[in-house]
Amino acid sequence: MSPPKSPRLRVVVDGSNLATEGRLTPSLSQLDEAVGAFREENPTAEIIVVADATFEHRAATNERSRFNEAVLEGEIVTPPAGAVGRGDAFILKIADRINGVVLSNDSFQEFKTTIPGSLRWVGSSVASPCAEWAGSSPRVCRCATSR
């Protein structure tokens, strides 16, 4: 009898957050690099990248067409028009629905009262989930360079 398979890691990437880490405007190149590094460390992970609807307009002019291509190809997902919280609620909802984790530097503190449980940080590694909403999903993985 073969050993049971461990569940596949499902990750929702807070693309806008990672793309603006240490910057004033988002960088698609920086986002690609971060997702690529995570994918290298977690080659079997299912990764969904979410970027704010404003990403395209805030990014460098030379990255806008590449961003639009990524959206059209399904590599990046944007929240529907009118989404509250510039996509953060959308990210947490996706993670909850797929029983996944969120890769971000955001603390999501504004959601502590609307999502059951309390947020507790237990580490800071890009390679593994390191924070979670105690008692319920979604879990939040903070990058090593947290704010």
- What confidence tier does 4 reach under pLDDT thresholds 50, 70, 90? low
How far is the C-alpha of 20 from the C-alpha of 5, rounded, in Å?
36
Confidence of residue 76 (pLDDT cuts 50, 70, 90): very high
**Is 11's pLDDT higher than 80?**
yes
Q: What is the DSSP letter of 108?
A: -
Per-residue pLDDT at 60? 92
For residue 81, the model assigns a pLDDT of 77
Q: What is the pLDDT of residues 98-113, one digit of tens each?
A: 877 888 877 777 776 6
Residue with tokens 């603006």: 20
Residue 13 · residue 42 · CB < 8 Å = no
CATH numbers and ranges of domains, the chain: 10-142 (3.40.50.11980)
Q: What pLDDT, in 10s, does the model give residues 17-71? A: 889 988 899 999 999 998 998 888 889 989 999 998 889 999 999 999 999 999 9
Collapsing DSSP to helix, strand or coil, 40 comes out as helix
* pLDDT tens, position by position, 78-94: 998 777 666 888 888 88
